[in-house]
């Protein structure tokens, strides 16, 4: 499996975990007094975010991503629904693997 495909997969999973944290766990904590929701969802999301950053670095090595694009993908991961836009942008990169050096 290529690094870009792995990146796209972890990007989607991390994006979904972020939405669960923001739109389900946070309201459960602050509206319904259930703080365990953010502890569990926050820990899972944190681990997935670390995997996302690692996989972004690995994909940057394989695919012709410049530093500006990599930073843009990172910033998009901090915005709800931003990871889904990243996925759309990665579709054009799938066809351009770096040649072996």
The token duo for 31 is 């509206």
So what's the pLDDT on residue 96?
A: 57
Residue 99 has pLDDT above 70, yes or no: no
- Tens-digit pLDDT profile for residues 14-34: 999 999 999 999 999 999 999
Token match 């990871």: residue? Answer: 83
Among the listed residues 94, 76, 75, 101, the one whose alpha carbon sits nearest the alpha carbon of residue 86: 76
- Distance from C-alpha of 58 to C-alpha of 72, rounded to nearest angstrom: 16
So what's the pLDDT on residue 91?
A: 80
- Tens-digit pLDDT profile for residues 50-96: 999 999 999 999 888 889 999 999 999 999 999 999 988 888 766 55
- Distance from C-alpha of 85 to C-alpha of 62, rounded to nearest angstrom: 20
């Amino acid at each position: 499996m290529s690094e870009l495909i792995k990146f796209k997969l972890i990007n989607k999973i991390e994006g979904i975990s972020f939405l669960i944290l923001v739109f389900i766990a946070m309201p459960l904590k602050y509206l319904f007094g259930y703080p365990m929701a953010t502890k569990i969802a926050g820990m899972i999301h944190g681990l997935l975010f670390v995997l996302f950053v690692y996989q972004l670095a690995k994909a940057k090595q394989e695919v012709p991503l410049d530093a500006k694009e990599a930073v843009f993908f990172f910033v998009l991961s901090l915005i709800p629904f931003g990871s889904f836009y990243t996925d759309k942008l990665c579709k054009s990169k799938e066809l351009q693997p770096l040649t072996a050096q």
